[in-house]
Amino acid sequence: MQPLFFKRPYPTLFFCLMALGLILNILTLKSPILGLILSVFWLGQLIFKAQQGLNNPELPPAITFTLATLIILGSLFFYLFNLGTVSTVFIIILLTIFGFWVGKKNSRTTGTAVFQISLSRQQLLYLVLYFILYVLSFILLLSHQSAEAIRTPWEVLPKIFFVLYFILSCLLLIFILSRKKETNEIKYPLVEVILVSLHYFLTLAVALIIYKIGFGFDPFVHRAAESALSQLGYIIPKPLYYIGQYSLVVLLAKFFNTSVSLVDKLLVPVLSSAILPGLIYQELKNILDNKKILLASMILALTLITPLFFYTVPQSLANLLLLILIFTSLPLIIQQQKIPVGQWLILIAIFFIHPLSAMPGLIYLGFWSLIIINKHRSLKFLFLLLSAIIMPLLFILMANFSNDFGISFSWPNLLNFSQTLGSNIFNYLPFYSVYHLVYLYNFNSLLLFLLFFSLGIFYLHWQKYTKFVVNYLLLLGALLIGLVLVALISFSAVIDYEQAEFAKRLLQVIALLAAPIVLIGFYLTLKKILALAKGRVITIFFVGLILSFSLYLSYPHNDALEKGRNYAVSAYDLEAVSWIDSDAVNTDYVVLANQSVSAASLQEFGFKKYYISTPLPTLPSSEGRPNKVQQLFYYPIPTSSPLYEIYLDLIYNGVTMEKIQKARELTGASKVYLVINDYWLDAKKRVEEAKLLTKRHEEIEGRVWVFGFKE
């Protein structure tokens, strides 16, 4: 496939002028519009050069290669020098030189692709109708943006959105399945791939648009770090991981001359939508014979992709690159070809982002490299044994080298984790409403995943890929043993309800390794259904229905069957942290608040203040955790801060001066602020208790109350 930006290679002079213009805009002009234009053309030409170097006519691998190079180069500059303006200029120069070198390495044409762009009147009608409803869907999303403390986007988004989404999904399937049978001359269904990419973006953009201030808590932490890196050019102490995302966001923000926050929010949803559909099609088209059913299967794959990639954090970016690595290497592995340098480059980029995704990626590439070079069987099983224990070993090593990372082994942890998994398999619900049908699907999601994985294995075995199947199952089996061992670990620095978080993340990574097999299972299922008399109608209706169910469940939801407890950062939280900062003047202060208010403080003031904590008697809800001196952020961090435990004690058990004094003694701050949001169960009662203890308080539109306590 030729690049979308260029019909043919532009002259060398044009590439140089784009690079020089970009540098000039970064140094002096600082125009966002000019930055957008220059960056698009310069990056587009860089991607084209990567296509030439890879000798690959398809666009997605070249985009990934360029992305990995940016991450690695940005990370190296961060660790060796800094990531300020001068470093950014040097990176542009190096990438431009690199583009010349890679392009000249293989200067011949990257291949010619014949696109299927002829449309019948009926297909054109479907296409026009799809775009009309698509635009209406985005208008609906934009008109229901919220800065309130919502628990789910479905609180503010009307149910008509699901109707539109269902119709759009059905229209897309009708369009794909109505296309004439491919001829040998047609190599790439460009229109269909673009439509699937657009559908991906609509699915992944709900939280991006609805949460006006931002989604979750962790993204605020990472955006604060990225903002500090963008302003200062460095972060102290230098993190051992995450920097791959931080450097990529900062570089793109400087290239486009736009805000770090905007780039961060768009990064994973946009990259997922732009890369995955074309990449999946390209890598599986030679394994699966019916291209239309493959495209339909790619739409159904949204049920797996949406929960992982609708917001940006290092884990989601690392998982996206891992999924790209898995799909791009799959045909090579099946054909017993050597793993090329490009795959290892992607793996290095993942290591700079998050080790929890990088280590399974290393195991994946290492194992298949051993198989391809046909080493002795005993070496293969030794590698599998190491693969089974490497993740728990890493956690043990981290505990030995870090004072803040204590671990122990706990059988109850494994039991709790297994119970969590058990809730998503063989769980029957009677049908009384649509919600029961949605949750019948949700409560059996693990069973469905295993079913489609089994069908994928069966199909590959049927296609005479038996040796590949056996080795794949051995690899996944080794990683599952590692998962069980990780689930046994208890982390002393992590709050009780987050103990299974590492095991859950590792399970997601293992699911990504199995994703191509599951997608092949989708393909086989759809192929069999479409062979029935009414197969097309059944496929269109049920795939559209499942996609709608998945859309609802992939985002936070709150209903009669499942309660959402994570409130979004609201405009009132932003007002509260601004009032506290102005009221405190130059005094040292600490704040007792929930995670939404802490996230608001990170957005407004970054990592402004830390305290060295003083050991106190055991705090409520901290049983079994070591009580030691540590650095404490001046707002509570929900997963690990003793300040958050004090806050929960205040909210659930009553406001007293003794508890306020604990926060003061813990940090040495001269002033303590307490923030109470109206959505707490006993909020009004706690407000009245706090009013009896201090006269210094502020009410923000009846939604948030702030109380100040002096020494």
Residues 419, 424, 428, 432: is their CA dihedral positive or negative?
positive
Residue that is written with structure tokens 């970064």 in the block: 26
Indicate whether 110 belongs to any domain: no
Non-local CB neighbours of 449 within 8 Å, separated by 6+ positions: 304, 511, 514, 518
Cβ neighbour number for residue 586 with a 10 Å cutoff: 5
The answer to whether residues 506 and 643 belong to one domain is no
Residue 177's domain comprises: 119-312+537-568
Residue where one domain finishes, among candidates 531, 551, 583: 531
Residue where one domain finishes, among candidates 531, 557, 590: 531
317 burial class (0-12, 13-18, 19+ CB within 10 angstroms)? buried
Indicate whether 663 belongs to any domain: yes
Indicate whether 348 belongs to any domain: no
Indicate whether 2 belongs to any domain: no
619 torsion bin: left (phi>0), alpha (psi -120 to 50), beta (else): beta
Q: Return the half-sphere exposure (C-beta side, CA atoms, 13 A cut-off) of residue 504.
A: 13
Q: How far apart are CA 97 and CA 342, in angstroms?
A: 18
Indicate whether 345 belongs to any domain: no
Q: How far apart are CA 389 and CA 391, in angstroms?
A: 6
Q: How far apart are CA 213 and CA 215, in angstroms?
A: 7
Contact 307, 549 (CB under 8 A): no
Cα–chain center distance at 601 = 23
Q: How far apart are CA 307 and CA 116, in angstroms?
A: 32
Indicate whether 3 belongs to any domain: no
The answer to whether residues 553 and 589 belong to one domain is no
Please give the average pLDDT of every successive group of 10 residues along the chain, which has 711 residues: 44 86 96 95 89 68 90 97 95 92 62 61 92 97 97 96 97 90 60 96 98 95 97 91 96 97 98 95 91 95 96 97 95 88 93 95 94 80 92 79 66 76 66 78 89 96 92 95 88 64 90 96 96 94 96 92 88 97 92 96 95 61 51 86 92 95 92 96 95 94 96 77
The answer to whether residues 123 and 77 belong to one domain is no
- CA distances (Å), origin 670, targets 251, 432, 577: 40, 57, 17
Angle at 107 between CA 105 and CA 108, to 5 degrees: 130
The answer to whether residues 51 and 72 belong to one domain is yes
Q: How far apart are CA 365 and CA 572, in angstroms?
A: 49
pLDDT of residue 425: 66
Indicate whether 304 belongs to any domain: yes
Q: How far apart are CA 232 and CA 227, in angstroms?
A: 9
pLDDT of residue 2: 43
pLDDT of residue 401: 67
DSSP state letter for 239: P
Residue that is written with structure tokens 């298949």 in the block: 368
The answer to whether residues 22 and 86 belong to one domain is yes
- CA distances (Å), origin 431, targets 541, 582, 662: 19, 54, 51
Cα–chain center distance at 518 = 20
* Structural domains in the chain (count): 4
The answer to whether residues 522 and 550 belong to one domain is no
Non-local CB neighbours of 58 within 8 Å, separated by 6+ positions: 1, 51, 113, 188, 278, 282
The answer to whether residues 372 and 499 belong to one domain is yes
pLDDT of residue 628: 56
The answer to whether residues 285 and 432 belong to one domain is no
pLDDT of residue 403: 58
Non-local CB neighbours of 110 within 8 Å, separated by 6+ positions: 2, 48, 51, 52, 55, 56, 57
First to last CA, the chain: 69
Contact 391, 503 (CB under 8 A): no
Residue where one domain finishes, among candidates 76, 105, 134: 105
Strand partners, 708: 673
The answer to whether residues 389 and 499 belong to one domain is yes
Residue that is written with structure tokens 């109350």 in the block: 705
The answer to whether residues 495 and 616 belong to one domain is no
- CA distances (Å), origin 386, targets 144, 164, 479: 51, 49, 10
Contact 116, 186 (CB under 8 A): yes
DSSP state letter for 383: H
Indicate whether 170 belongs to any domain: yes
The answer to whether residues 509 and 453 belong to one domain is yes
Q: How far apart are CA 330 and CA 656, in angstroms?
A: 61
The answer to whether residues 360 and 503 belong to one domain is yes
- Which H, E and C letters describe 158-212, residue by residue? CCHHHHHHHHHHHHHHHHHHCCCCCCCCCCECHHHHHHHHHHHHHHHCHHHHHEC
